Amino acid sequence: MTSGKPFALSEVAQRVLIVLGRENRGLTVRELVEKTDTNSGSIKRALEELTELKLIKEERENVFPYRRLISLTELGKEVAKRVIEIEELIKKVRTND
């Protein structure tokens, strides 16, 4: 974030935050692909973006198949909550038009 560029989250990163915020549990990359209706390459880029911002964390399961579980950090939970609020507000505005 020191590049001087204005802050913005990619659309896919926003979708990942919304899904993780609503699920309230760790999800695999495959689950994120399915729940966001996005391809795995886009998900991986979004995960890199969110990791850099310290909004998500990754853990590995201790039992086979040793899946990677992606979940929100405490900061990520706060950001996801606000992204969800904005999404709901936009939906409300659109239905009132």
Q: Retrieve residue 2's tokens.
A: 């020191």
DSSP state of 2: T
5 within domain boundaries: no
Parent domain of 44: 11-96
Q: Is the pLDDT of residue 4 over 50?
A: yes
Q: Are 39 and 90 in contact (CB under 8 A)?
A: no
Q: Is residue 60 part of a domain?
A: yes
Note the pLDDT of residue 61. Answer: 82
C-alpha distances out from residue 28 to 16, 52, 81, Å: 11, 18, 20
Question: Would 41 be classed as within a structural domain?
Answer: yes
Q: Report yes or no on 6 lying in a domain.
A: no
Cα(38)–Cα(42) distance, rounded to whole angstroms?
A: 7
Helices and strands (H, E) in the chain, number of each type: 4, 2
Could you tell me the CATH number of the domain that includes residue 22?
1.10.10.10
Total domains in the fold of the chain: 1
pLDDT interval class at 62 (50, 70, 90): confident
Q: Is residue 31 part of a domain?
A: yes
Q: Hey, what are 94's tokens? A: 């659109």
The pTM (predicted TM-score) of the whole model is 0.85
- Is 78 a domain residue? yes
Q: Is 66 within a domain?
A: yes
